[in-house]
């Protein structure tokens, strides 16, 4: 997966009065300018996982404030931007009306940085450069720091990369953090933090280790052991019932004998409950997924897309590199089904792997004959978009792809996890336009019904959608290299509603973005973006 990297931007801005010491705190960062927009009304919307739901649809259908009429540069723009202590690579999360001891109910914004710090902020307090920090917790044991001595380059420093996941029943946010000790030893730990205080829960954290039968990778000839120094948790965390799922890639540069690990933990104890290596007899296969996360269907099966493997024909020798994989979860993690492109060996050699973006599970759809179809969508570096039948993914055939539907998406790579709204799939490949593919009778149109005028550079864009039910749909997309946030009418992508370069005097300009796969998060009338040094917040100006 060479070249799939979030650049190691230096941390440029600090607020010493806020960041004095570790642990939990409550503080206000700087002061807002006179006449700043007022706070939004209290919310009933929760955003507790990547792309809003476990199917990874990317749609928030409870957005009643932002509309296609009021999202324009006259009435909408940047309402705040406040400094944090490191680069943000995951998506922001949001909890409505959480009881904070001594402070009443608050709408709370959660972000995590590569400096191994998790923040909980009073969302209604954000204005200008001001934000009330309800708590901040540095998830580091004494004597450790974020990882900097990684073997072949990576985000630097490397702390929390993956989007956390929230469980309101347990009042917990689950976070995976990387760190190193004074001798340079690398650790990965799963933390469960109290939503209201930031304190560790469940007698945590748990240091992540795993073993699996196999003779490849970091193996003694019969058992593969998880090697923390060559693994990275880029994929968003997933919670299903009583289980937290993590999916692992290698580092930038593909160095070391990393493997395609999926490791599950008990949400109530943080203890490992199951683990599987999807390439146990070779190596590689990392689940990079462009910051996207494993997806979950109604039966409890988990879906991941692996990257290029280093040896073995897929489906043989327990190898599932460069594959779309359905994992059965009853009785532990096992492979239930998979699909691998017929030309996978050449794709492996060309580093044109499937797993450069995350999976999307479509809602049940009826085809022309009335048969209900259970479909999934994935697109990787080979330029193809694959629509897969979740009841029979198609496995591997060296002569042809036995898939439900396939067509050419672009002439380049794709790192954009697809999203879905109003029977339309949206995604934005590398150096390409944002595209809309309508779905009719359980088939995607093979050419876009509309596309943006703007071509997104770098790694394209990872879109998200806000809407009020099936109306007022807005597609949000960040061009990270240009540093511009865009909003489009979901019904017609030729209609650009807003972009952050339109207002005079650089009114809506924000700090450079470090992560290449930042997806805007929309909640309660505001849009949140993590940068290399800040959180930028957009909303109505009046």
pTM value is: 0.93
Alpha helices (runs of H) in 277-392, residue ranges in sequence order = 344-350
- Average the pLDDT over 126-151 and give the result: 94
Grade residue 3 by pLDDT with cuts at 50, 70 and 90: very low
- Can you read off the two tokens belonging to residue 531? 């940068």
Q: CA dist 313 to 230, 342, 392, Å? A: 23, 10, 19
Q: Which residues, other chains included, contact 45 with Cβ-Cβ below 8 Å and sequence gap of 6+?
A: 60, 62, 63, 94, 96, 523, 524
Grade residue 352 by pLDDT with cuts at 50, 70 and 90: confident
- Among 23-37, 348-362, 443-457, whose mean pLDDT is lowest? 23-37
Closest to 174 in 3D by CA, of 240, 226, 228:
240
In this structure, are residues 172 and 201 in contact, taking their beta carbons and an 8 Å threshold? yes
Amino acid 252: pLDDT: 82
pLDDT at position 168 over 50: yes
Dump the DSSP string for 166-235.
EETTTTEEEEEEEEE-TT--EEEEEEEEETTT--B-TT--EE---EEE-SSSSBSSSEEE--GGG-B--S
Q: What are phi and psi of 72, to 5 degrees?
A: -155, 165
Grade residue 343 by pLDDT with cuts at 50, 70 and 90: confident
| CA-based radius of gyration for the chain | 22
Alpha helices (runs of H) in 334-387, residue ranges in sequence order = 344-350
Report how far Cα 290 is from the mean position of its chain's Cα atoms.
Answer: 7
Mean pLDDT for all residues in the chain: 91
Q: How far apart are CA 454 and CA 498, in angstroms?
A: 12
Q: Residue 504 gets which letter from DSSP?
A: G
At 184-233, the pLDDT tens digits run 999 999 999 999 999 999 998 999 999 999 999 899 999 999 999 999 99
Q: Which residues, other chains included, contact 90 with Cβ-Cβ below 8 Å and sequence gap of 6+?
A: 50, 111, 112, 160, 161, 162, 163, 164, 236, 291, 530
pLDDT at position 315 over 90: no
Q: CA dist 27 to 24, 40, 150, Å? A: 10, 20, 34
Amino acid 346: pLDDT: 78
- Average the pLDDT over 379-407 and give the result: 96
- Average the pLDDT over 127-154 and give the result: 92
- Average the pLDDT over 268-286 and give the result: 96
pLDDT at position 18 over 80: no
Q: How far apart are CA 227 and CA 249, in angstroms?
A: 12
Three-state DSSP class for 161?
A: coil
**For the chain, what are the domain ranges?**
27-540
pLDDT at position 248 over 70: yes
Q: How far apart are CA 99 and CA 479, in angstroms?
A: 36
In this structure, are residues 212 and 275 in contact, taking their beta carbons and an 8 Å threshold? yes
Strand 450-456 relative to strand 471-479: parallel, antiparallel, unpaired? unpaired
Q: Which residues pair with 119 in a beta bridge?
A: 111, 136
Q: How far apart are CA 323 and CA 340, in angstroms?
A: 5
At 30-73, the pLDDT tens digits run 434 434 566 787 778 999 999 999 999 999 999 999 999 999 99
pLDDT at position 2 over 50: no
Closest to 197 in 3D by CA, of 136, 286, 284, 153:
136
Q: 27-540, superfamily in CATH? A: Quinoprotein alcohol dehydrogenase-like superfamily (2.140.10.10)
Q: What are phi and psi of 349, to 5 degrees?
A: -70, -30
At 411-440, the pLDDT tens digits run 889 999 999 999 999 999 999 999 999 999
Q: CA dist 24 to 84, 142, 296, 347, 447, Å? A: 15, 15, 33, 47, 51
The torsion of the CA quartet 378, 289, 55, 453, rounded to 10 degrees, works out to: -70
Q: What are phi and psi of 8, to 5 degrees?
A: -80, 70
Q: How far apart are CA 483 and CA 493, in angstroms?
A: 20
Q: Which residues pair with 62 in a beta bridge?
A: 468
336 CB-side CA count, 13 A: 19
Q: Residue 286 gets which letter from DSSP?
A: -
Amino acid 4: pLDDT: 37
Q: Which residues, other chains included, contact 111 with Cβ-Cβ below 8 Å and sequence gap of 6+?
A: 84, 88, 90, 92, 93, 118, 119, 121, 528, 530, 535
- Average the pLDDT over 149-155 and give the result: 82
In this structure, are residues 138 and 117 in contact, taking their beta carbons and an 8 Å threshold? yes
In this structure, are residues 175 and 244 in contact, taking their beta carbons and an 8 Å threshold? no
Amino acid 38: pLDDT: 64
- Average the pLDDT over 102-126 and give the result: 97
- Average the pLDDT over 446-459 and give the result: 95
In this structure, are residues 117 and 85 in contact, taking their beta carbons and an 8 Å threshold? yes
- Comparing 104 with 3, which gets the higher pLDDT? 104
- Average the pLDDT over 292-319 and give the result: 91
């Amino acid at each position: 997966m060479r070249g799939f990297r979030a650049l190691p931007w230096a941390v440029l801005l600090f607020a010493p009065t806020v960041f004095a010491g570790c642990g939990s705190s409550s503080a206000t960062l700087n002061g807002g300018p006179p006449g700043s927009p007022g706070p939004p009304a209290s919310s009933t919307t929760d955003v507790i996982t990547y792309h809003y739901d476990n199917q990874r649809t990317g749609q928030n259908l409870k957005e009643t404030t932002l509309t296609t009429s009021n999202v324009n540069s006259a009435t909408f723009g940047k309402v705040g931007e406040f400094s944090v202590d490191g680069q943000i690579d995951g998506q922001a999360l949001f909890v409505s009306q959480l009881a904070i001891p001594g402070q009443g109910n608050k709408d709370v914004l959660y972000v995590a940085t590569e400096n191994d710090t998790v923040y909980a902020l009073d969302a209604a307090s954000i204005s200008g450069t001001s934000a009330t920090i309800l708590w901040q917790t540095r998830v580091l044991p004494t004597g450790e720091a974020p990882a900097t001595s990684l073997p072949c380059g990576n985000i630097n420093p490397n702390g929390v990369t993956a989007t956390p996941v929230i469980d309101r029943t347990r009042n917990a946010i689950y976070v995976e953090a990387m760190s190193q000790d004074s001798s340079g030893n690398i650790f990965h730990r799963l933390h469960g933090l109290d939503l209201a205080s930031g304190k560790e829960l469940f007698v945590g954290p748990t240091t992540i280790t795993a073993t699996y039968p196999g003779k490849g990778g970091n193996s003694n000839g019969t058992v593969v052991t998880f090697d923390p120094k060559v693994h990275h948790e880029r994929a968003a965390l997933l919670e299903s019932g009583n289980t937290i799922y993590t999916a692992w890639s290698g580092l930038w540069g593909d160095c070391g004998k990393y493997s395609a690990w999926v490791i599950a933990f008990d949400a109530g104890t943080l203890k490992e409950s199951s683990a599987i290596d999807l390439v146990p007899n070779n190596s590689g296969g990392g689940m990079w997924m462009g910051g996207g996360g494993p997806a979950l269907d109604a039966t409890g099966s988990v879906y991941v897309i692996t990257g290029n493997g280093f040896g073995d024909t897929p489906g043989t020798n327990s190898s599932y590199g460069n594959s779309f994989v359905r994992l059965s979860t009853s009785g532990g993690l096992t492979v239930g089904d998979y699909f691998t492109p017929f030309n996978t060996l050449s794709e492996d050699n060309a580093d044109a792997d499937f797993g450069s973006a995350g999976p999307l599970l479509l809602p049940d759809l009826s085809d022309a004959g009335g048969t209900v179809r259970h479909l999934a969508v994935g697109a990787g570096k080979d330029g193809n978009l694959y629509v897969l039948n979740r009841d029979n993914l198609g496995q591997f055939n060296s002569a042809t792809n036995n898939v439900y539907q396939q067509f050419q998406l672009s002439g380049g790579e794709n790192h954009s996890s697809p999203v879905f709204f109003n029977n339309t799939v949206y995604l934005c490949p590398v150096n390409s336009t944002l595209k809309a593919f309508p779905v009719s009778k359980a088939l995607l149109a093979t050419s876009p019904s509309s596309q943006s005028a703007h071509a997104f550079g770098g790694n394209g864009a990872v879109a998200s959608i806000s809407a009020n039910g099936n109306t007022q749909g807005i597609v949000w997309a960040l061009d990270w290299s240009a540093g511009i946030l865009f909003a489009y009418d979901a019904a017609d992508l030729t209609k650009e509603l807003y972009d952050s370069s339109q207002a005079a005097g650089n009114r809506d300009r924000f700090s450079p973005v470090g992560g290449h796969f930042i997806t805007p998060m929309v909640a309660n009338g505001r849009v949140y973006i993590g940068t290399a040094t800040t959180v930028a917040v957009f909303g109505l100006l009046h």
